[in-house]
Structure 1
Amino acid sequence: MDNQIEKLDDHYIVCGYGRIGRILTQYLIQKYINVVVIEKDTAQAVQLDGDGVLYLIGEAVDENMLIRAGIRQASGIVAGLETDDENIQLVQLARQLNPDFFIVARASRDAFKKPLEDAGAHKVISPYDIGARRMAHAILRPTVIKFLETAFNDESTEFQFEEIRVRQGAKLANVSLMDSGIRQEMNLIVIAIQDKNGDMMFNPKADTQFVVGDTIVVMGSAKSIKQLEILMQG
């Protein structure tokens, strides 16, 4: 399995194959993203083999283990270990080994969000907090929740959300939203544009131009989204 991992590039490392780690890994694989799992529980090997996942058995908070998982060639890592202290150690070590890649960390309590961010995590997720908020929104805003569930349903081809990066040499680079044909010809709705500095513009005006490095958040059919992705490639 090490030989297969050595051939990977721009993959993601998922540390911890519990309930959340397994669902996350399967979702990424469905999106054709290569994944390597690091799991310390040897009993999980049967499940990992059955799921057809590339994996290593051992401690994720170990430099040699992360190097075996291809951390220097990876696009990012998910710190989903059992304790917050372990995740902080993992984030710190991962940041040292690859200063440029994307780090997502799980926090069991809000008190650990800032320490994880200070350690180097780009995004800190608290599943319990998200779950509670989701239930509250289901009570207070059921129609909004239904809309979002429809939009994020991967089986739907008629209605999806997606983010698309404007690449160097893209046909629509430096073209305004009004002149791009995104709305008129592709029937897509541009929800927001995030520039390369991370600043977000919601509901951009018609004369807003797409700039190389921008990330466009769009809503529409899978077919039209694919068409726009092609136009935004270099």
Structure 2
Amino acid sequence: MNLIKTSKFRGYLKVWTAPISLLIFLFLFGALGYRFTEGWDWGDCLWMVLITITTIGFGEVEVLSSAGRVITFLIIGGGLFVVQLTLQRFIQLSELGYFIKLEELRLRRLIRRMKNHVIICGYGRTGKEIADQLKSEKISTLIIENDTTSKIEAEEKGFNVLLADATMDETLLLAGVKNCRSLVVTLPNDAANLYVVLSAKALNESCRLIARAANEEAASKLKLAGADAVVSPYVAAGRTMAASALRPIAVDFIDLLAGSDCEIEEFKLTEDIDKIDIFTSHHENSLDFSKRDQALLLATKVSGQLFGNPKNIVSISPGMILIFLGSKEQLNRIRVRLREVLVKPLS
């Protein structure tokens, strides 16, 4: 991806040398002309030049002499020439891609300031859905797309889009892969997805990688390459349809949760504390979330192992992850109370 360099900017700025120089010359010529032909003070001279060039339409400062009219005529002609020259320069810069490169520079500066964001590689059908979900959660998102039409479509929705090849290390570095929280790969080609996962893992080992796979074979290779999670749309769709046929009520309930105001939130213990029971009232530091907040504890994760359907009383330890289901209000209350026991939400 060719970005603007300082030398190129200087070259682009040179095209404005002639119009600006001519405009300055017109002001000096007009002011001096009115000064010597009409005898006005410098303020009136400059004002007359300004209203003549801009064609504002105000009347003359004073009645002009024949020589003053000649000066005015020359200023009008010079002003029209400056306008024509300026339009030519705009067309020239547009053909050279100046305004596109200017937008690229703005985007590069924006990316430099982005931290803890999510990178989406590919803005296809899957990428669009992911981007919309992240936008609804107000998560900082950057899309990498090499198709101009898709780029324009994403920008119309308010997304920051990098027009480039996601398989290139240079592109991933430019997208801020070293500062992102996760990278989602949804390219239509499994080989390209594998290449992106390998590159991203080499550039940032701590980055969480989620990849799309067309089949189970590709999914296994992506996991070997370092993907933390692999999703196959066809496999997922098949399982959902099979579940709908076998367990329709359960699937309807899951769909109801997905369409409601309920959310799933993760909380991680970040400070070293002694193990305490936070779900029982028998301990002075205990908290009973199930009764007071009515949020559902779905699972816990300890030492990399996930446990579902935990008991009402859970002994927590440093590094433990608690997964809750509830409304935003319920989760916010839990977030505040977890901070009291040195636990904070996952970033």
TM normalised by structure 2 equals 0.62
Whether 1:5 aligns to 2:106 is no
Contact kept in structure 2, 1:37 and 1:56, CA below 8 Å: yes
Contact kept in structure 2, 1:103 and 1:120, CA below 8 Å: yes
Q: Deviations over 1:36-73 (max 9, x none)?
A: 11101122222022011011111101011111100111
Partners in 1 of 2:166 and 2:186 — Cα distance?
10
1:48 to 151, 154, 163: 154
2:297 alignment partner in structure 1: 190
Q: Deviations over 1:95-150 (max 9, x none)?
A: 01101110001100111111101111010100011011111111111111111112
Whether 1:141 aligns to 2:247 is yes
| Cα distance change, pair 168–45 in 1 and its aligned pair in 2 (3 A) | closer
Partners in 2 of 1:206 and 1:45 — Cα distance?
48
1:168 alignment partner in structure 2: 270
> Which secondary structure state, in structure 2, belongs to the residue aligned with residue 55 of structure 1?
strand
The AA in structure 2 aligned to 1:198 is G
Contact kept in structure 2, 1:71 and 1:97, CA below 8 Å: yes
Is the radius of gyration larger for structure 1 or structure 2?
2
Q: CA deviation at 1:175?
A: 3.0
The AA in structure 2 aligned to 1:14 is I
As a proportion of its length, which structure holds more helix? Answer: 2
Contact kept in structure 1, 2:265 and 2:331, CA below 8 Å: no
Gaps of 5+ in 2: 1-106, 282-286, 343-347
Q: Deviations over 1:146-167 (max 9, x none)?
A: 11112222xx33xx24132133
Whether 1:34 aligns to 2:136 is no
Q: Deviations over 1:173-214 (max 9, x none)?
A: 73332232101211222221112x221222222332122322
| Cα distance change, pair 49–220 in 1 and its aligned pair in 2 (3 A) | closer
Partners in 2 of 1:220 and 1:111 — Cα distance?
36
Between stretches 90-99 and 180-189, larger displacement belongs to 180-189
- Aligned-residue sequence identity (percent) comes to 25
> Which secondary structure state, in structure 2, belongs to the residue aligned with residue 177 of structure 1?
coil
Question: How many pairs are equivalent?
Answer: 229
Whether 1:130 aligns to 2:230 is no
Q: CA deviation at 1:168?
A: 3.0
Whether 1:64 aligns to 2:170 is yes
TM normalised by structure 1 equals 0.91
**Superposed CA RMSD:** 2.0
2:326 to 195, 220, 227: 220
Partners in 1 of 2:180 and 2:224 — Cα distance?
21
